[in-house]
Structure 1
Amino acid sequence: MEKENEPYSSKVICVIGLGYVGLPLALLFAKKKMNVIGLDLVEEKVKMLNNGQSYLPDVQDDEIQKALNEGFFTATTDYEAVKKAEVIVICVPTPLTDYGTPDLSYLQSVSMTLASLLQKDQLVILESSTYPGTTKEVLQPILEKSNLKAGRDFFLAYSPERIDPGNKQFKEVDKIPKIVSGVSPQCKQTVFDFYNQVFDQVVLVSTPEVAEFTKLLENSYRFINISFINELAIMCDQLGIDLWESIEAASTKPYGFVPFYPGPGIGGHCIPVDPLYLAWKGTRANVDNKFIHLADEINHIIEKYVISQIETFLGGDLQNKAILLYGIAYKKDIDDYRESPALFILHSLTDKGAKVSFHDPFISEVVAAGERIQSVNLNVEILSKSDLVAILTDHSALPVQMILDHSKLVYDTRNVTRNFKGNAKVFRLGGGES
C-alpha cells in the first residue's frame, strides 16, 4: 500500500491506558505533531502527567513537558474525551485469571464504555496482547451495540504492541516495524494509512487473527527458549559445566543459533502470560500445546530450584538466616515487578524462616500478599550482615565489586560476577562455584 497524503496532524488521537505501552505510544504521536489525549482512570497518573512528571523509567519528565508545552498532549480521566478523537487506541491490561485463563475484563469494560460514545468514521485500534479472535469476537460485537457497523460506519483494527521496557537499543518506538490489520478492507487501509505516518515500517497482514497470533508467536518463542535454557542451567550445575561459556561459544556460529540466557524465572506482563493465551485458544480448538505447558512448568521449576540452591548454600536450614535479594523487577532497568520470580522467591524464603530483605534502585516498595515491603539501602553494613546475597536482577547500576568485597556468600543468577574477584564466595546459576 502507498502512503496516504492526508496528514493526521490536524486530528485528535485518544490513547486509552497510559502504562508501559500506552504512554510511550501517546508521546510518540505527540512527537509526530499529532494532538493526543491520554486517558487513564488512575487520577494520580493523570495528575503527574499534566504536571510534566513521569512514573515510568523509560519516559523522562522532559519528554512529557515538551509535549505539554507544545500543546500536543494532555491527560484526562474523562471518557467524554473520546468523542473528540478521530483515532482511539486501546492499550489496557489483558492479564490471566487465577485459573490461568484470559482475563478480558479491562478490555470489555473499556469497550462497553466506548460503545456509548462511539462516533461515525472513528478508527478504533486494539493494541493489547490477546488471543486470536478477540478483535472480531469480543471487541467488535460490543462496539456495534452503538448501532454503528464496523467497516461501514467506523473502522476497527488490531495492531500488537512491540514495546520492550528497559531496552535502550530499541527505545525509539517508531523504528520497530508495526504489524497492522483490520476487520474489513477499508479498515485495513485506514489503519495502514494512519500508522504509516507514525512508524518507519508498517507490515499489513491479512486478518486481525494473524496480527493477534503474531504477537503470541513472538512471545511464545521467547518463553519456550528461555525455559529451555533454564532447564539446561540446572543440568550444567549438576555436570559442572559453565553454561554461560557454552552459550558464548555457540554464539560464534553465524547461522542457526540465537542466544538465550538463564535466570531465576520469567516475569512481566507479556512473556509468561501471552503463551498461555495461545494455549487456551488451542485447547478450545482441541489442540494441546505441549511445548507451552512444559515451558510454563519449567518456569516454575527454576524458581523453586533457585530457592533450593540457596538452602543448600546455607547448610539446609534457613531459620533466621539473613538473605538480601538484589533486584525485585522482572528485568533490568525497569520498575515493573508484575509476575516477577523475585516475589515468589522472597515469600518462599520468608516462609522457610529466613529474614529476607531486598534492594532495587527502581522500586522503593512492593505489595505482595497484602504486605508492603520496603527496599533497603545497599551499603557495606547490610552486605556484611547478610548470610547470603542473591542477585536476581542485573540492573545497570548493580555495584558488583562492592557486593563481592563486603559479602560472605553470593548467589548470582545473572552471570554478572563472572569477570570479577572479591572476598565473597560466589555461586553462579548454570556456572557453578567461582
Structure 2
Amino acid sequence: MLTTKEKGNQLAEKLIEKLNNKTAVIGVVGLGYVGLPLAVEKAKAGYNVIGFDVQESKVDEVNQGVNYIGDVVDEELQELVTKKKLKATTDYSFIKEVDAVAICVPTPLDIYKQPNTNYVESSAHEISDHLHEGMLVVLESTTYPGTTEELLKPILEQSGLNCGEDFFLAYSPERVDPGNKQFKTKNTPKVVGGMTENCTNAAATLYGNVLESDIHRVSSPAVAEMEKIHENTFRNINIALANEMAVLCNKMGIDVWEVIDAAATKPYGFMPFYPGPGLGGHCIPIDPWYLTWKAREHSYHTKLIETAGEINNDMPDYVVKRIMEILNKDKIALNGANILVLGVAYKKDIDDYRESPVLPILEKLDVAGADWKVVDPYVKEFKYKNSIQSPIENVTTEMLESADLVLIATDHSDFNYEEILLNSKAIFDTRNSFRHEVNNNSYFRL
C-alpha cells in the first residue's frame, strides 16, 4: 500500500506527464483582463481550455468568438473557439473535467480599504465541490500574504482531499499590464510558489509549457503573494514621490518633467517615475492596502505605504485646484465653466477605467458647479455615480473652441495634440502629452 507521500508523488508525476503531452484539460475561473488572455495563451499552447465566469454575457461572447479584452487578438480568439480549443460556461460542474484550474477573479477593497475576498472564496467553494484527485489549483488574483494557505487550502480540503497528497495548490501572481506593447501574458516572467515541492513543480510545468518566459520558483505561496504586493507597492510609493515633487516644483516655478528627465540620465541608482492626476487600475491603487491590512495582524503600522496612498489619493483635488487657478488667470469662475476632459481610461490607449482618477476629478468638478464633457476613443461607456455615461468618441474643433479649459487626463495616442494646442483657450496637461516644452501662454503642465 502506498504511503501518502508516495501517492502524492505518483499523482504529481501523472499530472506533469499530462501537462507535458498536452492531454490535460485546463480551466480558468474569471474571464476578465487577466483570465481571458491567460485562457487564450493556454489554448494556443495546445491545451483544451474551459473558461468559467458568473456573467452570462462574457460566456456568450467568448463562445461566439467575440473579443472584449484589448490584449487579446480578435482573430486568435475566433480561431480557438472555432477549433473547439476554448469554450466558456457558467456551469461550475465542468470543473470535474479539468486537470488544472487557475483562479483569476477580482480582489477589490471594501469601503474601509480592507480586502474583499468574496470572489476568491466563492470560486474556491465551487472548485471544492468538484475537486478530484491529481488536480492542480493555482490562485492568480492579487491578495495578501497567507491567502492561499489560510483561506484557499481549508476550503478546498472541505472536499475530503488533502493538499499536497491528493491535489496540488500553488500561487502564481498575474502580471498583466493592459496596453503594454512589449510585455504581454505570453512573455512576462512568472513567479510560482506551491504548498509543497510537487505543487510547485506541477504549476511550474504548466506555465513553462504555455509561456515564453522564465518561470521563477519560490519557497511558498506566501513569498509569491508578498512578491506581487511588493512590486505594486514599489510603484505606488515612487509615483507618490513623483506626484509630491510635481506639487512642490509647481510652487517653486520649476518644471518637474525636466527635473525627472535630467535625473534619468544617471545610469545607476535612479528609475524614472512620472506624476499624473492620480492612480488608476486594479493593482497599484489597491494592492498596497492588502499589505497594510495584513500588517495589523502583526502589530505593525505601514507608515510609508499609507503616506504614499494619501499623496496619490490627493492628486484629483490638486488637479481641480490647478484648473481653478488657470481659469482665474482669465477671470473665469470654475462654477459654470465648460471643461472638456480628454480621456477617462486610467492610462493611455486602453479601454479600462477601473479606479480611474478621472472619476473623482469629475465628481469634484460637479461639486464646484462646472459643466464637463468627456472624450475617449477607447472607453465606450463608464459608470459614473449611479448612471452609465457614454464618452464622445472624437474631439472636434468646435468642442475645443467652446471649452473654457481642456483637461488632458489620459494621453491617448489618437488625440491630435497639435490641433488641441491650436484651438484651445486653455489647456491643463496632467500627462506631459507633448513630451517637450510648449511655448504657449495657454498651455499648463502638471
The alignment's TM-score, normalised by the length of structure 1, stands at: 0.95
Runs of 4 or more off by more than 4 Å in structure 1? 3-6, 420-424
| 1:36-59 per-position Cα deviation (integer Å, ceiling 9, x unaligned) | 111111111111111111111222
Q: Does residue 143 of structure 2 align to residue 142 of structure 1?
A: no
The offset of 1:372, in angstroms, is 2.1
Q: CA deviation at 1:364?
A: 2.0
* 1:161 positional shift: 0.5
SS at 1:89 equivalent: strand
1:382 equivalent in alignment to 2:399: yes
* Partner of residue 352 from structure 2, selected from 336, 344, 347: 336
Asked if 1:187 is matched to 2:166, the reply is no
Partner of residue 52, structure 1: 65
1:359 aligns with 2:370: no
Within 1, Cα distance between the matches of 2:441 and 2:73?
37
**1:9 matched to 2:25:** no
Deviation string, structure 1 residues 364-412 (Cα, Å, up to 9, x no partner): 2211210222212421111111100100111121211111111110000
What does residue 165 of structure 1 align with? 178
Distance in 2 between the 1:193 and 1:64 partners? 24
The separation in 2 between residues aligned to 1:336 and 1:193, in whole angstroms, is: 32
Where 1:93 maps in the other structure, the secondary structure is coil
- The one-letter amino acid of 1:61's match is D
Aligned letter for 1:356? W
Whole-angstrom CA distance in 1 between matches of 2:31 and 2:441: 43
**CA, structure 1 residues 8+103, in 2 after alignment: closer, same or farther (shift >3 Å)?**
farther
Structure 2 vs 1, CA of residues 18 and 400 (structure 1 numbering), >3 Å: closer, same or farther?
A: same
Counting matched residue pairs gives 426
Q: Does 205-214 or 241-250 show the bigger shift?
A: 241-250
Q: Which moved more, 1:53-62 or 1:318-327?
A: 53-62
For residues 82 and 296 of structure 1, the distance between their equivalents in structure 2, rounded to whole angstroms, comes to: 39
2:272 paired with 1:256: no
1:76 shift after superposition: 1.3
Structure 1 counterpart of 2:209: 197
2:8 aligned partner: none
Contact 1:82-1:117 at 8 Å conserved across structures:
yes
Identity across aligned pairs (percent)? 48
In 2, Cα distance between the equivalents of 1:165 and 1:277? 21
Q: CA deviation at 1:60?
A: 2.5
Q: How many angstroms apart in 2 are the aligned matches of 1:367 and 1:424?
A: 35
CA contact (8 A) 2:20 2:205 kept: no
Could you tell me whether the CA contact under 8 Å between 2:20 and 2:209 is conserved in 1? yes
Q: Which amino acid aligns with 1:195?
A: Y
3-state SS, counterpart of residue 126 of structure 2: helix
What amino acid is aligned across from residue 403 of structure 2 in structure 1?
S
Q: Distance in 2 between matches of 1:237 and 1:134?
A: 43
Matches within 5 A, 1:340-351: 340-351=356-367
Q: Which residue of 1 aligns with 2:54?
A: 41
1:211 aligns with 2:224: yes
Unaligned runs of 5+ in 2: 1-15
Residue 69 (structure 1) aligned with residue 85 (structure 2): no
Q: Which residue of 1 aligns with 2:319?
A: 306
The separation in 2 between residues aligned to 1:309 and 1:234, in whole angstroms, is: 10
Which amino acid in structure 2 is aligned with residue 193 of structure 1? T
Matched, 1:110 2:127: no
Per the alignment, in what secondary structure is the counterpart of residue 175 of structure 1?
coil
CA offset digits 1:9-59 (Å, max 9, x no partner): 111000000111001111110110111111111111111111111111222
Matches of 1:240 and 1:4, distance apart in 2: 64
CA RMSD of aligned residues (A): 1.6
1: CA distance between counterparts of 2:46 and 2:361? 45
Letter in 1 for 2:229: L
Question: Structure 1 unaligned runs (5+)?
Answer: 430-434
Deviation per residue, 1:98-128 (Å, 9 max, x gap): 1100000111111112111111111000000
